[in-house]
Chains A and B, each alone.
Chain A
């Protein structure tokens, strides 16, 4: 394996890792802050991808605007789902089980609705103009869209860090993760906070789906693959841990990228293997602080 090939694989792994991180961060955000496990998170990713196809390919809207609108659309659907469905089961006995059940029903419903609206055939989305080619570095050609994704990933990480640590909303969100009731006592509208966080998380999922659409074909049933991949990332990194999710995504992304070189057929199983090893030796996640977990 020569050096340029090595770099190529690394960039490809980094792209996968960034997308993985973006979608997993939404899952981990709503779990960490709201104690909600959104099993349908992958479906919001899928909604984002289909919205992008509809807005950009069919309605011929500008790519960048379309990307934002797809994210917002998924977030809006997320907000509606939270307000009318999830909110009704908060505080119920065995809430966690009902959350999974309710969001599972959402997967079934969204999957079929997508099939009804868009049909079952694969959809493709063109890369935006200016990002169809490759950037030459030395004798390397790196697809410019991949570089874009990696940069967006870095921007989101920095922005998330800034929001969580420096803004009032971020502090509220972090406080909600620790103690929901105390927050209510402080006069903060807890239901509204939960709805907004859910909206942001699903918007992040939808945005990632839209962003990934030019790289992967858009298909119904993509939701479950995405949720399992994100789940693996989140388990490796430690659930509810933003930075853990990032590290987990990097690990899985690179492992898959290089695994595919050596054992193309079985590379997708590597992530499971890593997860099993983590579970045996550090079930709370590789990057989790040494405190007792809530769940």
Chain B
């Protein structure tokens, strides 16, 4: 369950985060919502490690195999004997392998990115369209109604204009 507080600027939003942390909320469970990125630590600290690049590597490897099967496989299935040249030509096969490796890697980056971002979301996490206009959202993951009320009160005291909460499906 997430609860979201909307702040008018970075300073009050940062104050809101500090108040939440001081009140015992774990920083891991707090995140910021903004229409522009802020350097790490300005609002919250986020884990900078990502795994989706390994998916890109895996995608590229699958692409290399697909490229080989496409170029070499069609040559095997329909052999064209030209003089004493090999059925599977090294140069064209290399080109097709290269292109498909890159293509699959690129597609994997996008797929992996969305998977790691967990987008599109399953439920309907709280959001406020004012974020697009420069407002800052501070979202806290809470486990109970009591916790939610406490988080909302802390954020309002810190300067939140409004708070919204919605249960994740």
Chains A and B are bound partners: no
